Amino acid sequence: MARMLNFMPELEPNELQYIQSLVENLSDEDAKQFAFIYRARRKKPQEVLILIIVGFLLIAGLQRFYLGQIGMGLLYLLTGGLCLVGTILDLINYKRLAYEYNVKEAQKVLSMLHY
């Protein structure tokens, strides 16, 4: 786990564990390349949280657009965050939303590296 921790110290513990399991068979050079690409594509949970809070005040669903969930973003936008219930649930689960997005992106990056 120390190898990815050296490349990406900003990762949350559960995300670090998942990423380490993905890259455990890669060489150091490939792991560095993975970390470089993944860092550019991943979403930080704090940014998702900020967008959810903005959704309470201005435009509901921004966090869903940010995470690439266009359909859910439109639904939240048109229904006021599903009458704020969905926005409240997203507020509670913002780390999970970011983690699920990041898992998909990590898998895409790994497939780009042909592994």
Q: What is the pLDDT of residues 41-73, one digit of tens each?
A: 999 999 999 999 999 899 999 999 999 999 999
Rounded to whole angstroms, the Cα distance separating 33 from 24 reads 14
* Residue 3 confidence (pLDDT): 77
Which position has the token pair 């869903």? 64
**pLDDT band, residue 2 (cuts 50/70/90):** low
Instruction: In whole angstroms, give the CA distance from residue 94 to residue 20.
Output: 22
pLDDT for residue 97 is more than 70: yes
How high does pLDDT run on average in the chain? 92
pLDDT of 113: 86
Where does the pLDDT of residue 17 fall: very low under 50, low under 70, confident under 90, or very high at 90 and above?
very high
- Return d(Cα 74, Cα 85) in angstroms, integer: 15
